Amino acid sequence: MSDYANEINRRRTFAIISHPDAGKTTLTEKFLLYGGAINLAGSVKGKATARHAVSDWMEIEKERGISVTSSVLQFEYDDFCINILDTPGHQDFSEDTYRTLMAADSAVMVIDGSKGVEAQTRKLFKVCVMRHIPIFTFINKMDRDANDTFELLDEIEKELGIATCPVNWPIGSGKAFKGVYERESRSIFTYSDTQKGTKEGDTTVISIDDETAVKEAIGEDARALLSDEIELLDGASAEFDLELVQKGELTPVFFGSALTNFGVEVFLQHFLKMTTTPLPRMSDKGLIDPVENDFSAFVFKIQANMNKAHRDRVAFMRICSGKFDASMEVKHVQGGKTMRLSQPQQIMADSRKILEEAYAGDIIGVFDPGIFSIGDTICAPKENFSYEGIPTFAPEHFARVRQMDTMKRKQFIKGVNQIAQEGAIQIFQEYNTGMEEIIVGVVGVLQFDVLKYRLENEYNVEIKLEPLPYEHIRWIENKEIDLDKITGTSDMKKVKDLKGNPLLLFVNSWSVGMTLDRNEGLVLTEFSRN
């Protein structure tokens, strides 16, 4: 086993989380540039695909036969093999985005320095916290006027509830941006606006103690302000503690500008030093160590092919332990079958590459003839364990589904159930009644269009969606509670999910609070582990 321990230990698998437009794509491009994976930045994904409208999206899906949202990028840097999991934004935002985070060992949070913590970052952050994975913060766009640095840090601490530890500190921003001060080396890295896409900048590194050089580089005013800020910072900020970082309780913060390529490589180097090798994962047989155990993986995403001519599905798996070899037999635990995984591939932003081998930490996509479900475990034939399931995340948009042609009831039920099984939508029924009325919940509104499109094209069923005003859903943690006895606000609706779990729908967060107040002992959660 030791012959490939090194392969596993050099892997780093992380997700990048941010609000749209904070600079995630630009930062990723620069990472790839340093890794030599691409020659010129700008080729990760064209803006046309990143900013497409709904109708284009369908076309893109069809053309490529695979979701544009499913990208995993792998590149080499300094002996590390790095897997970046993209978490799509804009209208692509869906439950898959959350599930992708279940496959990462750490997260990089990109924040726009002039905007601070924004909605999508907040949502994705919650999932990272739930998993206790390390979170690294890159405050971007320092070449533009940014908010006050102390206020930015304060916002992260208050809004997200994580302590911050700046690794470097910006000297001004916008037109007055002079560079960053790196605390550990007590050096100033002067700002240089490299040409977009090139690697080398002409940053100079100056010791903070070399007063003359510092004054010359950043000016007397900036120097005076910086020394005040450093003093304040040293007194106020949390001490760097790698253990707390790895538990996800402290986030190292970096400042830079992805577009002008400032602070990106320094960030990557520090990040690689601080982040973790592939993490062990909990199963019903205890923790599974990535190096000590034979091959195992779990399915975190299923992507149905939008192309009618190829009705296949791709199941994305995160390898959790051992080595995967394309010729090996594996056991699909939930299906109780031993098999070979068909067409194992690495899914890149715009291509697929057939794989011969892969290691713990890697993500592979395999052809799925309709047997896999989200959360399934794949392992060596002699083993038999299941990884902890992937939670179901709270949808934020709800609609009642009306079937246009009631004669096609069977196809309708089949279609809705299959699409729900893939995890693209969640379906709920009225509490106490059957399937007569179906309520669909989605994380991103685009999934409504996907549902309509797929029911029409794959199941020949036309539907009408009537939007419902609910925005909050809560699972009831203490199931022994009698649902009939729960009294809520007048806008509250009681429903159940496919597995019969009781849930409550609310129009606003105030109603959630009211209901909790009115029902002593009621415990509500924003995700379900069942």
The residues that touch ligand G4P, with contacts defined as CB under 6 A, are: 18, 20-26, 47, 89, 140-141, 143-144, 257-259
> Quick one: 42 or 219, whose CB is closer to ligand G4P?
42
Instruction: State which residue, 22 or 245, has the beta carbon closest to ligand G4P.
Output: 22
- Spatial separation of the C-alpha atoms in residues 292 and 282, rounded to whole Å: 14
Give the pair of three-digit tokens for residue 67.
Answer: 């979701």
Q: How far is the CB of 324 from ligand G4P (least distance, A)?
A: 30
Nearer to ligand G4P (CB atom), residue 140 or residue 251: 140
Residue 97 and residue 476: Cα distance in Å, rounded?
24
- Which neighbouring-strand residues pair with 474? 504
Tokens 């890295």, residue located: 189
Tell me if 296 sits within 8 A of 288, measured CB to CB: yes
472: left (phi over 0), alpha (psi -120 to 50) or beta: beta
CB of 259 to ligand G4P, least distance (A): 3
CB of 18 within 8 A of CB of 86?
no
Residue 195 C-beta: closest distance to ligand G4P, Å: 14
User: Can you say whether the dihedral through the CA atoms of 196, 26, 85, 447 is positive or negative?
Assistant: negative
Burial of 213 (0-12, 13-18, 19+ CB in 10 A): middle
Helix, coil or strand: residue 515: helix
Helices (H), 294-424: 409-421
In this complex, which beta carbon is closest to ligand G4P, that of residue 111 or of residue 439? 111
CA-to-CA distance for 493 and 491, rounded, in angstroms? Answer: 7
Give the single-character DSSP code of 266.
H
For ligand G4P, the closer of residues 140 and 293 by Cβ is: 140
**Separation CA 84–CA 25 (nearest Å):** 11
Closest CB 302 distance from ligand G4P, rounded Å: 25
When the beta carbons of 27 and 360 are compared against ligand G4P, the nearer one is: 27
Nearer to ligand G4P, 18 or 71 (CB): 18
CB of 23 to ligand G4P, least distance (A): 3
Instruction: Compute the least distance from the CB of residue 89 to ligand G4P, in Å.
Output: 6
Least Cβ distance, residue 354 to ligand G4P (angstroms)? 28
CB atoms near residue 490 (< 10 Å): 6
Displacement of CA 461 from its chain's centroid (Å): 33
Contact 501, 394 (CB under 8 A): no
CB of 349 to ligand G4P, least distance (A): 12
Tell me the CA distances in angstroms from 481 to 135, 476, 523, one per residue in order. Answer: 37, 8, 9
Nearer to ligand G4P, 197 or 370 (CB): 197
Q: How far is the CB of 69 from ligand G4P (least distance, A)?
A: 13
- Looking at the chain, the number of H-run helices and the number of E-run strands are 14, 33
Q: Which is nearer to ligand G4P, 253 or 492 (CB)?
A: 253
Smallest gap, in angstroms, from Cβ of residue 303 to ligand G4P?
21
Phi, psi of 438 (to 5 degrees): -115, 135
Specify the DSSP element, H or E, that contains 302: strand 296-304
Give the nearer residue to ligand G4P in terms of CB position, either 20 or 344. Answer: 20
